[in-house]
Amino acid sequence: MLNIHVNNNNIEFTTSNNILLLTRIRYASIILLFLYIYCFYADFYLYKGIPENSYRLILTCIHLLGFTASIAFLFIHKLFKHDTIYHTVWPTVTINFYIFTYVMGGALASINSQQLNGNIYAYIVILIGVVSLFPVRPRHFFFILFFTHIIFLVGLYYFSDGNKYDFISNQINSTGTAVISFIICFVLYSFRKRDFRNQLIIKNSEQNLLHLFNVNPYPLILTSLDNGKILLANNKALEFYHVTTENVASLDVNHFYTNKEERTSIMEELRTHGHLDNYVLEQKTSDGSKKWVLVNYKLIDYMDQKCVLTGTTDITDLKKIEAELEMYATTDMLTGVLNRRKGMEILQEITETSTIPFVLLFIDINNLKQVNDHYGHPEGDYLVKTVCHVIKSRLDNQDIIFRYGGDEFIIAFLDKHTNHAERIWSEIVALLEEENSKKIKPYSISVSHGLFYYNSAQSISLQEIINYADKEMYKEKAIMKGLGDGSLVPDFK
């Protein structure tokens, strides 16, 4: 299995390399066509009148053969439009033929130069140029180089001007260049092959990532760190956010955040630490519905850019259960207002950490015990709920009300003064009198109150505030029961 995998990789590389070589030879052929026009100008005009006519004739033939070969390749290249032909031997044969043509052309041009100036620049330039531009297979290039270099050395020997040392010098320089060109060919080809394999590994890793990404049972989204653009979203994510495959590419992940500033702070955290685990927040779907989610963020590299991999778990139902438990733990079940524990906790926090002044109103329902004794506890519950309903109807959203005891309630008018509290109290009393005028019940509904104005400059505890308001309430209750100026406290409520 390993050998099959390696062979498949080699075939893929050979095909990819052949496509690259054929493309570069095509560009080289186009450039050479224009270069040969200049060469013909030199052959027929610049070299006109030189004594060595054979030099001019041979050079013109070399240029003409090169020009013809370039035109022929441009026609041949059109045959390689079909992918199936790349899996045959013909691309390799064509490539090796043209590499051989380039090298041999340089060798013949340099041999011909021995008749005029004795240089071998054409051969050397062509060798370096070929190995730099065309990553041909080293084994193939070795045979091309071996054959052409033998011909070059033989031709160099026969066409040299008889100067022994010039011949030796050219022989050494050309052979050294041939060896160096082969080394360059080997290095560049090996580097390209290794790079191709690395790219193949990366591609396979990305495919494996995509597979794991898509089969994951939880919503996963991959987004750009810079602009939040959605790069990938598995089917679970599309289903969770109510997004179709067609429009997901047009969305960015900010669309799903109810709080854009929170998204910004999350990205800053990711840039600093690279991950963020078990983060709870509220998100919205494309149709506007909201869900509570537990999110894990991970900063990763994907497609040469920094991306954010986001894994989401829907905890909306858990949040609902949590809210219900919170309600049971903090709400008085009979009246629906806060219970004593939660109410005291809020006021304690205000007195300890805030400078907001408030008026605390201590309220007691008159004669609740007598109603319970004479008419039963259901009637007592009705009395408590009626009073609470009337009180809540006159409060603002920022006001706090909680049940302090069986027939006792506390109201905190935040950032308000006593005149506001007394006005609201008068309205509550008037509404209760209206309720009594209906004579629905065989008893009258009445309440007593006491208040205390608190500001942060006072050195007093919350319990002392409540005790003072409670005493003021008892004074009013005593007056209502006809016990003088309120200095006496009755035995009952």
DSSP characters over 130-141: HHHH----HHHH
Task: Tell me, yes or no, whether 29 lies in a domain.
Answer: yes
Q: Does a structural domain hold residue 491? A: no
On whether both 152 and 301 belong to a single domain, the answer is no
Residue 323 lies in a domain: no
Distance CA 173, CA 421 (A): 107
Nearest-angstrom CA–CA distance, 484 and 481 = 9
**Both structure tokens of 191:** 């580097």
Question: Which has the higher per-residue pLDDT, 384 or 206?
Answer: 384
Give the residue, 90 or 165, on which the prediction is more confident.
90
Token digits for 297?
Answer: 């963020």
Q: C-alpha angle 300/303/306, rounded to 5°?
A: 35
Tell whether 212 is covered by a domain: no
Query: Does the residue 92 lie in any domain?
Result: yes
pLDDT tens-place string over residues 463-472: 999 999 999 9
Under 8 Å between Cβ of 282 and 323 = no
Q: Is residue 322 part of a domain?
A: no
What's the pLDDT band for 182 if we cut at 50, 70, 90?
very high
pLDDT at residue number 346: 94
Q: Please say which residue of 173, 207, 241 terminates a domain.
A: 207
State the number of CA atoms in the 13 A half-sphere of 279 facing the CB. 20
**303 and 247 housed in the same domain:** yes
Handedness of CA 177, 178, 181, 186 (dihedral sign): negative
Q: Has residue 319 got a pLDDT over 90?
A: no
Q: CA separation (Å) from 171 to 62, 112, 148?
A: 22, 15, 13
Residues 355 and 430 in one domain: yes
Mapping DSSP to helix (H, G, I), strand (E, B) and coil, where does residue 416 land?
Answer: coil
> CB-side exposure of 363: number of CA atoms within 13 Å?
25
In terms of domains, do 298 and 340 share one?
Answer: no
Per-residue pLDDT at 107 exceeds 70: yes
User: Which of 174, 207, 240 is a domain's end point?
Assistant: 207
Single out the residue of 298, 236, 309, 312 nearest to residue 270, CA to CA. 298
Q: How far is CA 71 from the centre of its chain?
A: 50
Residue 159 lies in a domain: yes
Alpha helices in 303-452 (DSSP H): 316-330, 340-353, 368-375, 377-393, 418-437
Q: Would you say 332 and 338 are in contact if contact means Cβ atoms under 8 Å apart?
A: yes
Structure tokens at 236: 């679970």
Q: What share of the chain is helix, strand, coil (3-state, %, to 5)?
A: 65, 15, 20
| Reported confidence tier of residue 492, pLDDT bands at 50, 70, 90 | very low
Span between the terminal Cα atoms of the chain, in Å: 92
Q: What are phi and psi of 411, to 5 degrees?
A: -115, 140
Question: What is residue 433's predicted lDDT score, i.e. its pLDDT?
Answer: 94
**Domain enclosing residue 261, as ranges:** 218-315
H-helix segments, 216-367: 235-240, 260-273, 316-330, 340-353
Residue 489 has pLDDT above 60, yes or no: no
Do residue 278 and residue 392 come from a single domain? no
To 5 degrees, how large is the angle CA 302–CA 305–CA 307? 65
Same domain, 277 and 342: no
User: What's the average model confidence in pLDDT over 369-398?
Assistant: 93
Same domain, 53 and 136: yes
What's the structural domain count of the chain? 3
> 487: which 2 tokens?
């200095």
**Residue showing tokens 């008018």:** 413
Q: What is the CATH number of the domain that holds 277?
A: 3.30.450.20
Cβ partners under 8 Å of residue 467, min gap 6: none
Mean predicted lDDT score pLDDT of the chain: 87
The residue behind tokens 């013109």 is: 60
Same domain, 261 and 338: no
- The reported pLDDT for the residue numbered 483 is 53
Distance, in Å, from the CA atom of 221 to the CA atom of 223, rounded to the nearest integer, reads 6
pLDDT for res 326: 83
Mean of the pLDDT values across residues 212-241?
Answer: 85
pLDDT of residue 8: 66
* pLDDT band per the 50, 70, 90 thresholds, residue 161: low
Q: 4 CB contacts (<8 Å, ≥6 apart)?
A: none
Instruction: Specify burial of residue 426 (Cβ count, 10 A radius: 0-12, 13-18, 19+).
Output: exposed
pLDDT tier, 162 (very low <50, low <70, confident <90, very high otherwise): low
Q: Average pLDDT of 405-420?
A: 94
How far is Cα 351 from Cα 465, in angstroms, rounded to an integer?
10
Whether residues 144 and 49 fall in one domain: yes
Please state, in angstroms and rounded to a whole number, the distance separating the CA atoms of residues 173 and 168.
9
Q: What pLDDT shows up at residue 487? A: 35
Percent of the chain surpassing pLDDT 70: 95
Residue at 489 is within a domain? no
Q: In Å, how far from its chain's centre is CA 425?
A: 56
Tell me if the pTM is above 0.85.
no
DSSP 215-254: H-SS-EEEEETTT-BEEEE-HHHHHHTT--TTTGGG-BGG
Distance CA 303, CA 309 (A): 13
Do 384 and 351 fall into the same domain?
yes
Q: Which helix H or strand E contains 123, and what residues bound it?
A: helix 121-133
pLDDT at position 414: 94
Query: At 373, which CATH number?
Result: 3.30.70.270
Gap between the Cα atoms of 216 and 210, Å rounded: 10
Say whether both 32 and 177 belong to one domain: yes
Of 207, 230, 259, which residue constitutes the final position of a domain? Answer: 207
**pLDDT of 279 higher than 50:** yes
170 shares a domain with 22: yes
Three-state DSSP class for residue 442: coil
